[in-house]
Amino acid sequence: MNNKLHIAYDDVYLDWKLGENHPTNPLRAKYAVELISEEKEVVLVYPHIMPLDRERIESIHDKDFVSRVIDQGVCAEWDEPVSTKLGRVATHMFSGTVRLVEKMLDDDVKVAFNPQGAKHHAQYNRSSGFCVFNDMAWAAKEFAKNGMRPMYIDWDAHHGDGVENLLASSRDIVTCSIHDGTVFPGTGLDGHKKSFGIYNWALDPGSGDDVFMQCMDEIRELADEIKPDVILLATGADAHRTDPLATLRFDYPGYEYAAKTVGQIAHTYSDGRVLIGGAGGYQPFDHTPQIWAKVVTTVHDEVTLLGS
């Protein structure tokens, strides 16, 4: 197995421009990759769109919805009335995760990162929350189909509702979401449903690193019960205390502690396998890429150190 950090990236990701004043700035992905590359030798994986990728998208999304986005270029997430270009970029971002999953299933990769992955709000028949195609839900099902026990962990200002909904009927996949419980009223507030493998930590506004760390300690205990074969991580950066879309108060010590916890879980149970996606974050020139880079490098360091 290759211990080098693998990253799905190409400048095609920079075409993910949803509108002139939209809070999502694709430069966050480029800067995160540059920061990581300054610290580590990385292997870049081009997010090729392969012939079966559309079928993969349709395996978790309604075919009519997929057709509207890809063939017609119509989607509620972008300001333009029609943009087949954005539909293709959305597919590239999904395909980036697919290419990483293929390498992980071939035992070629331990830790992999798609900065434009973890589109965790995308629903079965509609986009939501700046997310179009739900790559992490597909990845979890693909790992399970190959006989693995996936554990999905999501920390973000917003509930990972799309992944939870798309995986709710998959009793062999556990989903964990740490988020502000007041942002999406009526979702992510049900606590823990052990019979369904759904675990939510719906935090109060203003919650900081002490609460974040406590949640991660509980997730570590849960992992001790589940013993997952692979970890999927949506590392949102929009719960940072300065992010314009958040009311939570997470900071760098909390993110580092959480990342170390993920790495320790992966070392103990999943032979170091962790698939990471960027999720939310709306400070593209500083905190968002810096947090992503810190989390990714910390997970990789922990897996590599403990495995040596």
pLDDT of residue 30: 98
Q: What percent of the chain has pLDDT over 90?
A: 89
Name the burial class of residue 134, with classes exposed (0-12), middle (13-18) and buried (19+) by CB atoms within 10 angstroms of its CB. Answer: buried
Q: How many domains does the chain have?
A: 1
Helix (H, G, I), strand (E, B) or coil at 175: strand
Owner of token pair 């999502």 = 24
The pLDDT confidence band at residue 64, using thresholds 50, 70 and 90, is: very high
Cβ atoms within 10 Å of 224's Cβ, excluding its own: 11
Q: Rounded distance, CA 16 to CA 1, Å?
A: 32
Alpha helix (H) ranges present in the chain?
A: 27-39, 53-58, 63-70, 84-105, 135-145, 161-167, 209-226, 252-269, 287-307
R_g of the chain computed on alpha carbons:
17
More reliable by pLDDT, 232 or 308: 232
191, two tokens: 């606590």
Is residue 151 over pLDDT 90?
A: yes
Find, among 151, 189, 192, the residue nearest to 170 by Cα. 151
Q: What's the whole-model pTM score?
A: 0.97
Calculate mean pLDDT across residues 16-37. 96
pLDDT of residue 185: 65
Q: Rounded distance, CA 225 to CA 126, Å?
A: 34
CATH assignment at residue 275: 3.40.800.20
237-263 pLDDT, tens digit each: 999 999 998 899 999 999 999 999 999
pLDDT of residue 194: 73
- Domain extent for 194: 5-307
Is residue 223 over pLDDT 80?
A: yes
